Each structure stands twice: as C-alpha cells, then as structure tokens.
Structure 1
Amino acid sequence: MKLQPDRLDVQSILAYGAGWVGLGSNGVAEKIDYSIVIGSRGEKFAWNCTRFDQLTAEHFALLASLKPELVIFGSGTRLQFPPPLFLQGLMAQRIGLETMDTLAACRTYNILAGEGRHVIAALLIEPQEA
C-alpha cells in the first residue's frame, strides 16, 4: 500500500546529519550548514542563531509573522523547550508549536508538508567542532 508520493511537490528535506540538512525543491538540492527556516509554501531564510541559548522572543515572533498552521522547532541535537514567554506571538495567533530535536523535526516537516499543510520548520543547526 502506497501511503505517500515518491516525490513531494513542496520544498522538502532530502537528507540530514550532524551539523547540516539537505534541502530540495524543483529538482535542485542544496546542503545547508546553518540554522534555517523553511516552509511548505516556499519560505526559506537563514535563522540568525547557532545555539539554543542565543534564541530570543524575536526569533519566534518572526515565525508567527509567517502565519503558518504549525511551527516545528528543531532545537538542536537534543530536545530543549523554549521559554513560554518566547511563544506569546504564536499563542496569540493560535499557531501551534511542536518542539523536537532537529533530526526529528526534519522528518516531521516532510510528512506534514507532503500532506499539504502550511507548516514552517525552524531548524537550529549547531556548528560541528573540527
């Protein structure tokens, strides 16, 4: 039984690993090694943070301004929850937020985007030590 298409018609995450994600859209693949926000409606921009402790309420207000149904927050290599104060803009607009480690967020984003949902993935990509 086939449950999902072989190819998504939206921007998707093709691969991921420690310190990077591979994005794909319209047959073009790109390796990203910095924190990024992507969306099922084509949103894509760098997210100005490299560590969880750099996040502020403004980071999440920016996500709320995109007006998605749901934000998937990839908190890095381990699960870390943002303070409720940071989420006021999302809550005021009744936008859901799911927090998970970044690799789980990548998988979840693809599933929801493939269902046609307006979803935003805010992925914290932590730099790898050399």
Structure 2
Amino acid sequence: MDLSLDRPGDFLFVRRVAARAITVMDRDITASFLLAPDRAVENWPATDAKALGAAHVDEILALKPELVILGTGERQVFPPAEFMAGFLRKGIGIEVMDNAAAARTYDLLAGEGRRVVVAFVLPASE
C-alpha cells in the first residue's frame, strides 16, 4: 500500500490539540504561543484569558494580522473588554473560541491565504 504525507499547504499548520499541548506541524508546544502562517512566537506570557491586557494586544499586532483568533484553552472564556477593544480600535476582527475550534479555524483561513494570527492560551506548567 502506498502512503503519502498530505500537507495542507505552505504555511505553519496545527496538527493536533490536547489539553496541555498543541502540535504545530510535527512539534509539540506546551506553553502559550502565537501562530501566523509564516512563523510562531513561543512563550507568549499568557496563561489565563481573563488576565489578558493591552500589552498582549501589542504582541499580537506586531505580527500584522487581518484577523485574530484567540484560543482560550479547553473552554471558551471571554477576555476583558480592554483586550478586545485593542483590536477593534485598529479595525481588526477578533474571534474567541476554545483551542480546538481555534486550531480548525486557523488552519482553514491560513489555507485560504489569509493573514490570520491565532493566540493559544495554554495552562502554566506544573
């Protein structure tokens, strides 16, 4: 039987989502991170969606997204209004969802060639 690797495209993609790790291509990442189609920014200092603020917005905006997806862990948790407003003031859409939904949405949009950035919040290591 012939087997071949079917890669979704020329972008960094999410292969798997677990409670404490997300696999980007073939690498498990266990701390919060930002992911754009062309690069990943690891060790993003966020472990709780309810504690996100203006500094976190600036780190995401540095990747020049047209759309932002916030993955808040195993469950959807809305961040403070200050965080959301930071994107809306710049005319950038933001969607909040659990990490699994965020990964699926990111892969779909990145596969379409969109300039999407996903911010994954993972729990602090114990």
What is the TM-score normalised by the length of structure 2?
A: 0.85
1:2-58 CA-partner distances (Å, limit 9, x unpaired): xxx75321000011111100012xxxx211111010101324332112223432221
- C-alpha separation in 1, matches of 2:31 and 2:7: 27
Partner secondary structure for residue 46 of structure 1 = coil
Alignment of 1:109 onto 2:110: no
- Equivalent residue letter for 1:114: G
- What is the Cα deviation at residue 91 of structure 1? 1.5
Q: Offset at 1:128?
A: 6.9
Please tell me the residue identity of whatever aligns with 1:102.
Answer: N
Quick check: 1:64–1:93 contact (8 Å CA) kept in 2? no
Which 5+ residue runs of structure 2 have no aligned equivalent?
1-5
Amino acid in structure 2 at the alignment position of 1:118: R
CA spacing shift, 1:66–1:128, aligned 2, 3 Å: closer
Pairwise CA RMSD: 1.8
User: Structure 1, residues 78-112: CA drift from partner, whole Å, max 9, x if none?
Assistant: 11111221233312221110000111101111000
Instruction: Look up the match of 1:16.
Output: 17
Provide the C-alpha distance between the structure 2 equivalents of 1:68 and 1:80, rounded to a whole number of angstroms: 21
In the alignment, is the contact (CA less than 8 A) between 2:33 and 2:40 conserved in 1? no
**Number of residue pairs aligned between Structure 1 and Structure 2:** 121
Q: TM-score, normalised by structure 1?
A: 0.83
1:51 to 33, 39, 48: 48
Aligned residues of 1:16 and 1:103 also touching (Cα < 8 A):
yes
The share of aligned pairs that are identical, in percent, is 36
Distance 1:127 1:18 in 2: 11
CA displacement, residues 51-70 of structure 1 (integer Å, 9 cap, x when unaligned): 23432221122212322110
